Homo-oligomer: A and B are copies of this chain.
Amino acid sequence: MDAKGLRAGGRGGRSGGVAGEVWLRAEKPRRDTLTRDRITVAAIELLDAHGTAHLTMRKLAERLEVAPPTLYWHVKTKDDVLDLAVDAVFSEVEIPSRTDDWAQDARTLVLRWRATMLCHPWSPALIGRPMLGPNVLARTEFLQSTLARGGRTGPSLAAATHGLANLTIGAALTESTWHGQLPRSSAHELIQANADRYPTLAANHHLDAPDQDALFDQAVRTFLAGLGQDISRC
């Protein structure tokens, strides 16, 4: 709000201005023009800080020191912003270098994939929208080509790719739920209070907390083990 006056007039080019105006510009060096990238970055920062519910176009505009309608020149809707943010997150997933062990490569990718999503706990819940961003596609391409190296083709390849990706997404989604939410103690209490209805859950719930990372890794290994098995019997 306090920068409105300064901002008026775009980046205030080199056409002769009022004496002393240079200093004002120096203090507030309007960083170029707005871009999709800058919007995306700011959106991710806000999402990381306060979660999905608190991301509004106004707060986004405020952070970018712009009036709200300005955003709509670069982006069509708020959903566009979310799509951009989700895809940008995937760019943080480093694509592994290929080794001789395709299964290991696939495992490395999905482990990093999940870890990245957990760094941005709001991201898994936003996957209920078309994942067609270049970064998402690049990771999917790597995963599928890696599994293809294992000798799979056709429906078998598709099933393996989707299975591994869905396992990862599901894990990130459920785990990110607990992270941001009420303490897991309340879940524990609820289950223990109804131990008669959920005996197995109650008996094993204390074991959940320790190491979610290891649990996911184990699930991935299980899936990959299953892949190794059924390829040999086909």
Which residues of chain A have a CB within 8 Å of any CB of chain B? 124-125, 127-132, 134, 137-138, 140-141, 144-145, 148, 153-160, 162-163, 165-171, 173-174, 176-178, 181-182, 187, 190-191, 194, 197-201, 204, 207-208, 210-211, 214-216, 218-219, 221-230
Contact = CB atoms under 8 A, between A and B. Distances in A.
30 contacts: A124-B128, A128-B176, A129-B177, A129-B181, A130-B178, A130-B187, A137-B194, A141-B200, A141-B201, A145-B200, A148-B204, A154-B204, A155-B210, A155-B211, A155-B218, A156-B218, A160-B219, A163-B222, A165-B170, A165-B174, A166-B166, A166-B170, A167-B170, A168-B170, A170-B170, A170-B171, A221-B230, A222-B227, A225-B230, A226-B227
3 residue pairs, one from A and one from B, having the closest CB atoms? A226-B226, A163-B219, A166-B170
A145 to B, nearest CB: 4
B198 A174 contact: no
Nearest to A220: B163
Count of identical protomers in the assembly: 2
B223 A223 contact: yes
A131 B191 CA distance: 12
A130 B177 CA distance: 6
Contacts of A131: 174, 177
A87 to B, nearest CB: 13
A26 to B, nearest CB: 43
B182 A130 contact: yes
A170 B171 CA distance: 8
B145 A199 contact: yes
Contact of A187 (B132, B141, B169, B174): B132
A11 B134 CA distance: 58
Contacts of A162: 171, 174, 215-216, 219
A164 to B, nearest CB: 8
A201 B158 CA distance: 10
A169 B174 contact: yes
